[in-house]
Amino acid sequence: MNGNSPDSAGDIPIAGTPGTRDRDRAGRARSGRPRDGLGRPLPYGVPGVQRAPEGVVRPPRESLETAQRLLDDGKPFHAHEVLEDAWKSAPDGERELWRGLAQLAVGLTHAARGNRAGAVSLLNRGAASIDPYAGEQVHGMDIGRIVAWSRALAAQLDSEAVAVPVPSLPRLALLSRAEDR
């Protein structure tokens, strides 16, 4: 099979075949390429960083704990993938919150990659998305603190007053499990 041949279904190239776009059997974009710790694609065949599985529906607390662990491990791109899954599976009243959190993680990814303009844009966009939830304790998060942290970091990056990559990250879940019930 060459890189442009259809798969056994007859019309969709197989994911990971050189020279084709990675698609699943339904035609949705999927990247089978390995990634580095900041989510940058690596050549096929090169070992990459293990990624969080896509499309996993987790309870909100588990999503936050997983994303926080990934942020703490210096993997904001991977945290974004977890938060994106939460966004896609969230009830309507929380979708903007989860989308905003995913945008913040993408902003941190841009900062870690040295892309100040992208970081500033996504940090501000994410802060705007979660700002309507400020003043609330949603799933143990102090949204007001996260908004303030995001906007302050965006302003620092915009003025080049902070080193890239970003040295400190916000805590997403501020309450213990017992306090969150």
| pLDDT over 90 at 147, yes or no | yes
Per-residue pLDDT, averaged over 91-114, amounts to 94
pTM of the model: 0.75
- pLDDT score recorded for residue 137: 79
Report which of residues 160 and 29 the model is more confident about: 160
Q: Using CB atoms within 10 Å of the CB of residue 151, give its burial: 0 to 12 exposed, 13 to 18 middle, 19+ buried.
A: middle
Residue 173's pLDDT band, with cuts at 50, 70 and 90, is: low
8 A C-beta contact, residue 22 and residue 32: yes
Go through the domains of the chain in sequence order and give each one's CATH number. 60-180 (1.10.3450.10)
Q: Of 141, 132, 83, which Cα lies nearest the Cα of 107? A: 83
- Please give the C-alpha separations between residue 142 and each of 134, 139, 147, 148, 180, in angstroms, as whole numbers: 7, 9, 9, 10, 12
Report which of residues 138 and 2 the model is more confident about: 138
Per-residue pLDDT reduced to its tens digit, 33-82: 888 888 888 888 888 888 777 788 999 999 999 999 998 888 899 999 99
